[in-house]
Amino acid sequence: MTPAQPKILLIYTGGTIGMIENPATHSLQPFDFTHLIDNVPKIRLLNYMIDNISFEPPIDSSDMSPAHWVEIARAITDNYDAYDGFVVLHGTDTMSYTASALSFMLENLRKPVIITGSQLPIGEVRTDGEENLITAVQIAAATDRHGAPMVQEVAILFENYLWRGNRSTKRSADNFNAFKSHNYPELAKIGLGINFHEEALLRQPYNGRQLHTHFSLDTNVMIIDLFPGIEESTLRHQLATPGIKGIVLKTYGAGNASTARWFTDAISETVKRGVIIFNVTQCVNGSVQKLYEAGHALAATGVVPGHDITAEAAITKMMFLFGAGISTEEISRRLSQPICGELTLPHSNKRPI
């Protein structure tokens, strides 16, 4: 079911979907919205009311920053009541970070925010951009059997799948199915039709509250990726980064790290200084658990378990929580609890058979 004439707001930020080749360098560069939409004449067949807002100038998403997330969140917030759904056109490189950040910023979201882009520019004969754009607009207009928006969260539509935004990761630089959520099922499968998996869609308990957008993000956070052979001086240098408040520590397997004394000392001294360290696995699938001695040793230093959260969701969640002006204890508590479907808590701490 879709509303009589759905009203959709397209927010064009840039990315390959709207790029054209620079004749001098032969590299792709972002181009304006008129060029993009002129290449999708079929969109008019939908008979939707579609308006647009464009970044000036549109950007390659490698240049995306928290200030741009605020700009997107502002566009959605200011137009929230006037539209049934929102489609954000975005480069693929940092799409999962933007999707994660927006999911935390847009509290009480009850309308679809569908992010899409493409691997080939819209002007190319074999482009995936036309189909992605049209499907994203249809998903943004879809309603459930009660007439409520089918999708009430931030999601990424790419080729055959709709993924929860804060669960997604860019997994391919050239495959049309460029995204995947390794720890959470797809929200919809796109084939001949759009087959929504309603049991997977986010439905926050209705509390009568309006959209509440958080515009404050704190970027005094960083990611440290462990590797065998990391020097004590390197790690201590990173942990002592001036002004740092939160660190996503990417650990091995089920949240394991070296049991060497210098390592656990360096981590626990940092935690004692008041820096929050968030333990996120380097594996794309699975979660942080205290299965091994090496996991116990790290947990004993006071790091916060990230369960099955992605690094993209972890770093943006830290920016959001540090920006919220709450206590360090509250930040630690909220980091390891789901806010909007970004992580799953373990049902049991027994070792899976």
Catalytic residue positions, numbered: 16
What is the token pair recorded at 4? Answer: 């009589």
81: tokens are: 């009541």
Q: How far is the CB of 124 from ligand ASP (least distance, A)?
A: 12
| Contact partners, residue 250, CB within 8 Å, separation at least 6 | 223, 224, 225, 226, 280, 281, 282, 311
From 93, 128, 131, 312, residue interacting with ligand ASP (rule: CB under 6 A): 93
Among 15, 246, 255, 341, binds ligand ASP (CB under 6 A): 15
Residues 119-138: x where in contact with ligand ASP by CB under 6 A, - otherwise, as a string: x-------------------
61 binds ligand ASP (CB under 6 A): yes
Residue in 58, 85, 112, 117 binding ligand ASP, rule: CB under 6 A:
117
Q: Which stretch binds ligand ASP (CB under 6 A): 56-64, 231-239, 278-286, 290-298?
A: 56-64
**C-beta of 117 vs 306, nearer to ligand ASP:** 117
Question: What residues numbered 236-275 form the site for ligand ASP, per CB under 6 A?
Answer: none
Across 95-134, b (16+ Cβ under 10 Å) vs e yields bbbbbbbbbbbbbebbbbbbbbbbbbbbbbeebbbbbbbb
Cα 289 to Cα 283: distance, rounded to the nearest angstrom: 13
Is 32 an interacting residue with respect to ligand ASP (CB under 6 A)? no
Q: Is 92 in the site for ligand ASP (CB under 6 A)?
A: yes
The residue (of 117 and 255) whose beta carbon lies closer to ligand ASP is 117
What would the DSSP string read from start to end of 313-340?
A: HHHHHHHHHHHTT--HHHHHHHHTS-SS
Does 98 sit near ligand ASP (CB under 6 A)?
no
16 binds ligand ASP (CB under 6 A): yes
Give Cα separations from 209 to 20, 115, 155, 200, 205 (angstroms): 43, 24, 21, 23, 10
- # residues contacting ligand ASP (CB under 6 A): 11
60-68, 123-131, 146-154, 296-304 -> range binding ligand ASP (CB under 6 A): 60-68
Alpha carbons 309 and 100: distance in angstroms, whole number? 11
Binding of ligand ASP by 62 (CB under 6 A): yes
User: By the 8 A CB rule, do 106 and 75 touch?
Assistant: no
Residues 6+ apart with CB under 8 A from 272: 302
Question: Binding to ligand ASP by residue 60, rule CB under 6 A?
Answer: yes
Residue 303, Cβ density class (10 Å: 0-12 exposed, 13-18 middle, ≥19 buried): buried
Q: Which stretch binds ligand ASP (CB under 6 A): 9-17, 157-165, 192-200, 304-312?
A: 9-17
Residues that bind ligand ASP (CB under 6 A): 14-16, 60-62, 91-93, 117, 119
